[in-house]
Amino acid sequence: MGLILDTSILIASERRGKSMEDILRLVRTVYGEIDIALSAISVVELTHGIYRAKTDGDRTRRQHFADGVFHDLIVHPVSVEIAQLAGRIEGEQAAAGNVIAIEDLLIGATALHLGFDVASLNLKHFQRIPGLKVCAL
């Protein structure tokens, strides 16, 4: 079993001044010794936040935090298999009138492909993905 951390967990932690070590300690306290990873989509979202920063201080702090995240966690790419899974889920859900944001869809598909759960602050976003186990920290 493993856990993909959604970007919402990382952003909230960074805003509270938490380090990657703090996040890992919390996850392991709650879930035990499990594999903890990211989707490449979270790299996009964290990098986006760095370049949206309004001050140099914010940009530097966000960059330092992101560097720690990328150093400490495995980042899973969006492979052909993950992209196909996301496309199938998105097509099926769109046909049923259920719209899923592409970022959440790709993070969720990464977790499903790996047999992992997703930890997020946006539970409702990920609960739209059939078969995905979503948990809060």
pLDDT average, residue stretch 69-78: 96
Helix axes 40-52, 7-15, angle to 10 degrees: 40
Per-residue confidence band for 89, with pLDDT thresholds at 50, 70 and 90 = very high
Q: Residue 52: which pLDDT band, with cuts at 50, 70 and 90?
A: very high
pLDDT > 90 fraction of the chain, expressed in percent and rounded? 97
Q: Which domains does the chain have, with CATH numbers?
A: 2-135 (3.40.50.1010)
Nearest in space to 88 (alpha carbons), one of 71, 73, 69, 108: 108
Q: Which two tokens stand for residue 87?
A: 């496309």
First to last CA, the chain: 16
Tens-place pLDDT, residues 14-34: 999 999 999 999 999 999 999
